[in-house]
Chain A
Amino acid sequence: MRDAYLVGAGQSDYGAFPSESYRSLFRTAFEAATDSVPNGLEAADVDEAFVGNLGVGGRQLGLSGPAVTEHVGLDGVPCTRVENACAASGFAVRQAVQAVKSGMADVVLAGGFEIMSDMSSDATKYWLGVSGETEWERLSGTTFSGVYAQMASVHMERYGTTREQLSRVAVKNHANGAKNPHAQLGFECSLEDAQSAPVVADPLNLYHCCPTSDGAACALIVSEDVVDDYTDDPIRVAGVGAGSDTVGLFQRDTYTGVPASQRAAESAYEMADVEPDELDFAEVHDCFAIAELLAYEDLGFCERGEAGDLIESGATELGGELPVNTSGGLKSKGHPIGATGAGQVVETYKQLSGEAGERQVEAPTRGLTHNVGGSGGAAVVHIFEKESGVDA
């Protein structure tokens, strides 16, 4: 199979934008992505598009994919909307990679978008639950904060993980997000702030939960046959892995890990032929603080049960051994559901291109993205590798 390459990626700001539409945000991301391609890329070059989106603010539009691609002049290009809850655009990227590898397309747009701020908070919450197990889990009184809190309760009970360790995830990610101009909550927070916030679903407080966001992100995936037209310093999609699982937590064998993430990571590492310790940074799905800790274990950054120690050691901070969520993560950068997976690729592209500004990891070669839908009903992992870094 042909290799696939990441030649450009860009995003809108994440936040609440009463003056923007889902289409205008997508346009901003699309233009940022094409502008980021070193040798330039025209709309006319695009063969196919995959767009992640959950519900356009709960409005459940049909054809929301073509609705944004036609807005940026891609009318005529085959476009498919991908829905896998919060992992929608992570899977859109995977679809783009598959299209390229299969030989059906040479230049594919993988993007995502969501509008979440233009309705009442009650209406937002009604809608957020649609990605959970609605008939049993939700009707026991939980949204995702509750389900992740249940996972945290077991992790704490079994492994001694502490509330302070959960809060350290927030402190780290806010420190990173403060360095990201696109971040929705781009401010630092103290450990004390992150421990004393109002409880949402015990043990998770407000600082252990990501915000709801408007935003869009786009990535451009091309084939090995055309990559030289777009860049002189190619970034290869070295590994792709994905998995699914029961939508409801209660139907799984484990509550202290996300099996879909484990399956996705295993496949991605195998395809890329790398070990976790060969990564230079990672963007992981930290919708809740416990989710980042579970990701450390599911992705093999540490042994099962040791994520609390890992965050406490500082190894995942910027400047640590394996910086995680240099963008600020979902917690600080924001979580516009359908855009989040593509947005992780944007950060990866910036890091590998040396364009991450104040939060730049020193000369990275390899980065991982990890995008989860719901509480683990779907997960997708990508490993990106700068070929010049591997050769050197």
Chain B
Amino acid sequence: MSAITGVGAYAPRFRISAEAFEDAWGQFHAAGVTEKAVPSADEDTLTMGYEAATRALEASEIEPAEIDWLAFASSRPPEAEEDPTARLGAMLALSESATRQVLTGSTRAGTRALWAGLDALEADSTTALVVAADAPKGDPDDGTDHAAGAGAAAFVLESEGAAEITDRAEYAAPYPGTRFRTTGKDETQGLGVTQYDRQAFTETIGGAVDGLEVDPDPEAVAMQAPDGKLPYRAAGAAGVGTDEIQAAATVHELGDIGAASVPLSLATALEDGYGSVLAVSHGSGAGADAFVVEADGDVPAVTALEGDDPLSYAEYLRQRGVVTTGPPSGGGAYVSVPSWRRSIPQRYRLEAGRCSECGSLSFPPEGACDECGALAEYEPVELAGGGTIEAVTTISQGGAPPEFAEQQARSGDYAAAIVALETDNGDETVSAPAMGTDADPADFSVGDRIETTIRRIYTQEGVTRYGFKVRPVSE
């Protein structure tokens, strides 16, 4: 048997309402979605996955080094080709020898990752981390895009624990054309053959549930939700009631979260204390997975799904980069990818160095000691991620390096600070410059408390650099 022993979930802070779409378009093509989450310009599925995964690890109280199996699932990984799990593992401080899997190509990828994690535990893995993150995108006038939300969920899996996965089944049947993205395209599309699409959805979901050995009697159903209506149309096929689907639904407030749709609904159902949960995904092509989860009602969960920053439709287009032109060309002050890579322990895990001569901390830990000037060795010290703002400015247009012009065009002014980052026990600090995120720049003042997270810094030569940024913490 395998069980979920830690749950993490995350959604970006920005929201756009159905009304905002209606004001802009005269209509809104995503039935049943009242508002949805919108990723900030410095977020993508990798950073959202990181946000959910750190929370799942925190909930499970598992040390990152104990994870021996990692999967990342998304219909929109940051790059069409390049394994994001190496970076995700480094961000989370997982062992370099942990097994890694990437699952993509379908909104079913999230449950495929869960499936693969269960397989791994049945083989020789002991502690698995399943991370699903997504942010679908379609043509601006298309229902896929109107529904498209953003979010992530993560689960720690062990052989036993608070939420046991007692059964699983899958089903596939060929239904091309319901939802697809051709190679090289950025927008997901569908032919929009209404009855055909519904049949693909209900047949695969029904097929997966029928394949279960147990006869589920769920209190909550985490059902794939491409919009706010379709999951309820599959109630009959899945043999469940619409109330149970609604109990775990996130689509109405967060939108279509693609491959993270079912994982996120499952996460909220477990956090809400439901004892018996049926999770059923659907991915175009088409296929479905069904899982039966029996929980004791007290599954450790850390979630951050609230968002209270409303966007207008114009701001939404800016934030998503629909109406911006991309970074300006240029050169100078260039940080090469190899030099960036050397700084990854600092960018991802705040690794400072303790001087072997005087014992004080330097950041970054290279060259002569900031304190005593000795060219000594540094003992690595990972900072805790909390600190205080020492100096800060709000960068307006004209004040941003051109590498950040695209981000600024999308997200507007941002805070840039020098922060005193603390050690684990809070006794020592070392200063580092950091960009503000996740809050209005006016929310950053000298003396304020901050915490670090990992975001996109910028993309140059097609390669996205990720690193720590800071956000305010309310005490």
Chain A residues within CB distance 8 Å of chain B: 55, 58, 120, 122-123, 125-130, 132-143, 145-146, 149-154, 157, 198-204, 206, 246, 248-251, 255
Contact = CB atoms under 8 A, between A and B. Distances in A.
Contacts of B328: 120, 122-123
Contact of A250 (B432, B441, B446): B432
Contacts of A199: 394, 396, 399
A135 B343 contact: yes
Name the 5 nearest CB pairs between A and B, nearest first. A149-B393, A126-B330, A122-B328, A129-B333, A150-B391
B405 interface: yes
13 contacts: A58-B332, A120-B330, A123-B328, A129-B401, A133-B433, A135-B340, A136-B433, A138-B333, A141-B395, A142-B395, A146-B416, A200-B398, A250-B432
A122 B402 contact: yes
Nearest to A58: B332
A139 B467 contact: yes
A143 B396 contact: no
Interface residues of B, number: 44
A140 B434 contact: yes
Contacts of B394: 199, 201-202
B274 interface: no
B219 interface: no
Contacts of A145: 395, 398-399
A122 B402 CA distance: 6
B105 to A, nearest CB: 33
Given A127-B331, A130-B332, A201-B416, 9 more contacts: A122-B330, A127-B332, A127-B333, A139-B403, A139-B457, A157-B446, A157-B447, A199-B394, A199-B399
Contacts of A255: 390-391, 418
Contacts of B467: 139
Nearest to A122: B328
Contacts of A200: 396, 398-399
Given A150-B393, A153-B393, A141 B418 contact: no
A390 to B, nearest CB: 39
Contacts of B390: 154, 255
Contacts of B434: 140
A140 B339 contact: no
A126 B331 contact: yes
Nearest to B331: A126
Given A122-B405, A125-B401, A125-B402, A146 B333 contact: no
B448 to A, nearest CB: 11
Interface string B329-364: 111111100011001000000000000000000001
Name the residue in B332, B339, B403, B457 with the highest tally of chain A Cβ atoms < 10 Å from its Cβ: B332
A248 B367 CA distance: 13
Contacts of B416: 140-142, 146, 150, 201
A235 B392 CA distance: 44
B392 A150 contact: yes
A135 B457 CA distance: 12
A56 to B, nearest CB: 12
Nearest to A157: B446
Name the residue in B333, B392, B405, B431 with the highest tally of chain A Cβ atoms < 10 Å from its Cβ: B333
A338 B448 CA distance: 39
Nearest to A246: B370
A126 B402 CA distance: 6
A186 to B, nearest CB: 22
Interface string B388-424: 0011111110111111110000000010111000000
Contact of A202 (B343, B396, B431, B465): B396
B103 interface: no
B401 A142 contact: yes
A141 B396 contact: no
A133 B467 CA distance: 16
A23 B404 CA distance: 34
Nearest to B446: A157
Contacts of A137: 433
B332 A249 contact: no
B330 A123 contact: yes
Nearest to A119: B330
A141 B331 CA distance: 16
Contacts of B135: none
Name the residue in B396, B414, B457 with the highest tally of chain A Cβ atoms < 10 Å from its Cβ: B396
Interface of B: 328-335, 339-340, 343, 364, 370, 390-396, 398-405, 414, 416-418, 431-435, 441, 446-447, 457-458, 465, 467
Contacts of B391: 150-151, 153-154, 249, 255
Contacts of A150: 391-393, 416-418
A46 to B, nearest CB: 33
Nearest to B396: A199
Contact of A251 (B335, B339, B370): B370
Nearest to A155: B391
Given A132-B333, A136-B432, A150-B416, A201 B396 contact: yes
A257 B404 CA distance: 28
Contacts of B418: 150, 249-250, 255
B287 to A, nearest CB: 42
Contacts of A129: 332-333, 401
Contact of B335 (A125, A134, A249): A134
Nearest to A140: B433
B339 A135 contact: yes
Contacts of B333: 126-127, 129-130, 132, 134, 138
Contact of B433 (A122, A202, A248): A248
Given A127-B332, A136-B364, A250-B433, A142 B402 contact: no
B416 to A, nearest CB: 4
Contacts of B339: 135
A198 to B, nearest CB: 7
Name the residue in A128, A142, A199 with the highest tally of chain B Cβ atoms < 10 Å from its Cβ: A142
Contacts of B331: 58, 123, 126-127
A131 B286 CA distance: 55
A201 B392 contact: no
Contacts of A153: 391-393, 446
Contacts of A127: 330-333
Contacts of A149: 393, 399
A201 B417 contact: no
Contacts of B432: 136, 250
Nearest to A143: B401
A154 B446 contact: yes
Name the residue in A154, A206, A251 with the highest tally of chain B Cβ atoms < 10 Å from its Cβ: A251
Nearest to B418: A250
A123 to B, nearest CB: 5
Nearest to B391: A150
A27 B401 CA distance: 33
A150 B392 CA distance: 5
Contacts of B405: 122
B398 A198 contact: yes
Contacts of A206: 398
Contacts of B398: 145, 198, 200, 206
Given A199-B396, A202-B393, A141 B402 contact: no
Contact of A126 (B332, B392, B396, B399): B332
Contacts of B431: 250-251
Nearest to A131: B333
A206 B395 CA distance: 12
Nearest to B458: A139
Nearest to A154: B391
Contacts of B334: 134
Name the residue in B370, B441, B447 with the highest tally of chain A Cβ atoms < 10 Å from its Cβ: B370
B417 A140 contact: yes
Contacts of B402: 122-123, 125-126
B432 to A, nearest CB: 6
